[in-house]
Amino acid sequence: MSAKLDIFNDIVTALAAVTEIETIELWNSQLTNEDREIPFNYNAVFIEFADIPWTTTNQQPSRLGSEGDVSKQQKGDGALITLHIAFSPLQDETVSFPIISPIIDKVYFAVQGLDNNFYGPLLRVAERQDTDHDRVIDWQMDFNTMIFECGELDDSLTEIPGGTVDVDVNVDLDIDNDIIRTGDGQ
């Protein structure tokens, strides 16, 4: 499994315990394109893999605990994951901050320190408020981690079973005809 997918799934699982969050998805500029996106329920958290600088390792990372071709192993140093915590349109942001601040804290405590064999602890490194979304509040929280990926596949996954398939066609196929070219079926 991909370390990125592990991170995504672990964050989704951790945030599922935050009852105030109704939507957890991969970031796709949903707030900027809200008028064109599939509707989602607020309060929402969108997970963005902002930056992952990869380097090839020269040795087997001890966290992977498996043998393999070391030339295919990579390490993502300083991988940056941004959580976009989106709150429903509110009339007055000065009144709303005391309401959303405890939810922001719950998201932080749910995600801070998450780790497994393929990535190190997620550690918060920055937060900011993005005010470019009308009355929607987009609170962004950045987490840093180190990712380990091996890149080696199980041989059974790379082999496609072969064999001959007998196709018994009992009709005359006329590919060059008006119905196929025009699609009118008449």
Residue range 95-142, pLDDT digits in tens: 578 888 999 999 999 999 999 888 889 999 999 988 766 667 889 999
Residue 178 host element (H or E): helix 178-182
The CATH H-level (homologous superfamily) assignment of domain 3-182 is Phage tail protein-like (3.30.2000.10)
In this predicted structure, the answer to whether residue 80 has a pLDDT above a threshold of 80 is yes
What pLDDT, on a 0 to 100 scale, did the predictor assign at position 65? 46
What pLDDT, on a 0 to 100 scale, did the predictor assign at position 64? 47
- Residue of 117, 113, 126, 104 whose CA lies nearest to 51: 126
Tell me if 85 sits within 8 A of 138, measured CB to CB: yes
pTM here is 0.68
Q: Name the percent of the chain lying above pLDDT 70.
A: 57
Structure tokens at 186: 């008449």
Domain ranges of the chain: 3-182
What pLDDT, on a 0 to 100 scale, did the predictor assign at position 62? 46
Q: Please tell me which residue, 144 or 57, carries the higher pLDDT value.
A: 144
Across the range 53-74, mean pLDDT stands at 57
Strands 74-87, 54-56: parallel, antiparallel or unpaired by DSSP?
antiparallel
Angle at CA 132, nearest 5°, toward 10 and 23?
30
Q: What is the CA radius of gyration of the chain?
A: 24
